[in-house]
Amino acid sequence: MPPNLKYLEGRKFCVVFIKVLDAATEKVQLQCLRGRASVEPGRLTVVHERGGMFTVPSSALPNILPSDGTALLQDAEYFVLVKTDENIMFASASD
């Protein structure tokens, strides 16, 4: 059963994408998507101010946490870590 996500509706939210570059050295690459949470039954979508959207995978929903004040999260109230495939190319800030 999916967790109750209603408390997230309209909140500032950060999805932190993690790509493992080298497991042996624990080298990772991070990229964030910041926006507002939009909650539908059993589903959480983060909507960026420029209209981009990302639906958080159901496997990550139990791992949503309140912001811990880390600079990476900026002003987000909540965040979740999402592991990506090593073949995914992250966009640069200028893209």
CB burial of 45-77 (b: ≥16 within 10 Å; e: otherwise) equals ebbeeeeeebebeeeebeebeebeeeeebeebe
Please measure the distance between the N-terminal and C-terminal CA atoms of the chain and give it in whole angstroms. 38
Tokens of 71: 């600079």
Q: Taking a C-beta distance cutoff of 8 angstroms, is the pair 30, 17 a contact?
A: yes
pLDDT above 60 for 94: no
Please report, for residues 5, 29, 50, 61, 63, the alpha-carbon distance to residue 58 in angstroms, rounded to integers and kept in the order given.
12, 22, 24, 5, 10
- What average pLDDT is seen over the chain? 90
pLDDT tens-digit series, residues 33-66: 999 999 998 899 999 999 889 999 999 999 999 9
Confidence class for position 92, pLDDT limits 50, 70, 90: low
pTM score, two decimals? Answer: 0.87
The reported pLDDT for the residue numbered 41 is 86
pLDDT tens-digit series, residues 76-85: 999 999 999 8
